[in-house]
A and B are shown apart, each in its own frame.
Chain A
Amino acid sequence: MNFIRNSVVPVATVLLAIVMLWYAFAIILNAPFERDQAARAGTTISTGQLIANTMKQERPVLPAPHQVAEEIRKTVFDVSPTSKRSLVYHGWVTLSSTLLGFALGTLLGIVLAIAIVHSRTLDKSLMPWIITSQTVPILAIAPMIIVVLNAVNITGLLPKAMISTYLSFFPVAVGMVKGLRSPEIMHLDLMRTYNASKAQIFWKLRWPASMPYLFTSMKIAVAISLVGAIVGELPTGAVAGIGARLLAGSYYGQTVQIWAALIAAALMASVLVSLIGLMANLVNRRMGVRA
């Protein structure tokens, strides 16, 4: 009962509002085309007919929610998951490079943070570069990575994953530097009185203290890993993946297909973020965090 009142009702309310707004905009944005059609045919069109027509256009400016839902249903359930027309197929292509890139990025971020926290020199020299790396527009650098890696015969999953890695290591590195430095002075002094080694201080104090920071930054990292994977699919000539669906859709003016891919990507991102949240809850429970 509480779950329904505290979680389902608020989320459903916002969802309903979004869907209603969406319909309103679909009508407003698609109406000019219908009016043009009517004018060209020399007829007038009733408001009721106009509204009905805006919701079933072939290539609407903004497809109505039910058109997108129908497109998703068709491309998920009606075609075989191995078919190039299946959203499941394209989703999996994107998901696999997202996950690989996210795993590598998280690992890289953690390793960098550990190095930075334990070395003053690295703190001074690496941190500015890490920040600079994120000021380079990913759209500019993504094709370079793909092309350069292709030139050295690295193709397939890895180049795309590298773009996800490039984006996702950053929040993890920054978050973990803060997390590994989060122990109170008293907790650190305590370790000193025990004459603990750096490794012991790390495993028994810094690492557990950084857990909340790790999961928060992983949530951000997994979401932008997905963005990175989609961006990484654009310069590969739109072979496969959500990015390819977006690109192909825009080539052929298939707005319904674009929106279906967008919604699929958003759903995937929210599932991934929720999974990280679930992991965080499990770890929290083991670490005795007050419920």
Chain B
Amino acid sequence: MTVVALRPKAKTMADAAPKNVIDVKDLSLVFQTNDGPVNALSNINLEVGGGEFVSFIGPSGCGKTTLLRVIADLEQPTSGSISVNGMTPSEARQKRAYGYVFQAAALYPWRTIAGNISLPLEVMGIPKAERKDRIARNLDLVNLSGFEKKFPWQLSGGMQQRASIARSLSFDPHLLLMDEPFGALDEIVRDHLNEELLKLWAKTQKTVVFVTHSIPEAVFLSTKIVVMSPRPGRIHEIIDCTLGSERTLDIRESPEFLEIAHRVREGLRHGHSYDAAHL
């Protein structure tokens, strides 16, 4: 009887699940190191809805990259649950549900730019004619048309990272996971790419999870900012970022922007002092 009674309930939960692209509940991750266990992530609860742009921000060691890697099935949580598109991260990865952009462009040096963008398409068995089509389309999306035949070393760092974004978009995943993609670039290039990324996001309607340690970058890009703190890595605060969808670089001088940036900074500071009290 109880089983029958539970069924409809379970079904409604399952129906509700796909609304969130990412659902994390009570997730913890402990790394076993030679110096003993390290609590990389502790009691993480997070929901990311479809079409959102969510940033993880925090000092190094707060687990923001680790959390992103758990979502991508590159790390395994010790406890708790996580779903990506209503599946386990492993199933989501096998269904190629997400594109991942690393800290460095990580282009294969022996492949041309077109060859690099073609890589995931080849792995996924997409026919040659369509590959060509998608390479052209995605190069255009990141303003790199005309650089197909160049090798990575012939491009600047910013262009390489744009190529890597085109690569992650080439197989059209709905979810984009970005791990400090502009961290190694200078501020001028970073500003420019931030603007382009926003346009790309508006155009493609993707869900983006973005790791950064830059407050202005997080506020400028996000609809939701997840402030994290270290030892153990945890979520300190989640701040909604309500700047509207039309954002230009000028917005960074507006009172709303500064207000949100201030809240993020306060959150980061509290996360730290909490940490210091425990040391």
Residue ranges of A at the interface with B (Cβ–Cβ < 8 Å): 184, 186-187, 189-196, 200, 204-205, 208-209, 211, 287-290
Contact = CB atoms under 8 A, between A and B. Distances in A.
Contact of A288 (B73, B104, B151): B151
Contacts of B123: 191, 194-196, 200, 204
Contacts, number: 54
B120 A186 contact: no
Most chain B CB neighbours (cut-off 10 Å) among A189, A287, A288, A289: A288
Given A195-B93, A204-B123, A186 B104 contact: yes
Residue among B96, B100, B108 with max Cβ neighbours from chain A (10 Å):
B108
Given A194-B123, A194-B124, A290 B102 contact: no
Given A195-B93, A196-B123, A288-B151, A190 B100 contact: yes
Contacts of B103: 186
A288 B96 contact: no
Interface of B: 72-74, 93-94, 96, 98-100, 102-104, 106, 108-112, 119-120, 122-124, 151, 153
A168 B104 CA distance: 38
Given A193-B72, A194-B124, A186 B94 contact: no
B106 A193 contact: no
A189 B102 contact: yes
6 contacts: A190-B100, A190-B102, A192-B93, A194-B123, A195-B93, A195-B94
Contact of B108 (A187, A193, A200): A187
Given A193-B74, A194-B119, A289-B109, 8 more contacts: A192-B73, A193-B72, A193-B93, A194-B96, A195-B96, A196-B123, A208-B110, A287-B110
Contacts of A290: 153
Nearest to B105: A186
Contacts of B120: 194
Contacts of B109: 287-289
A208 B115 CA distance: 13
A191 B96 CA distance: 11
B106 A184 contact: yes
Residue of A194, A204, A205, A287 contacting most chain B CB atoms (<10 Å) = A194
Contacts of A204: 108, 119, 122-123
Given A193-B72, A204-B122, A205-B108, A186 B102 contact: yes
Nearest to A288: B151
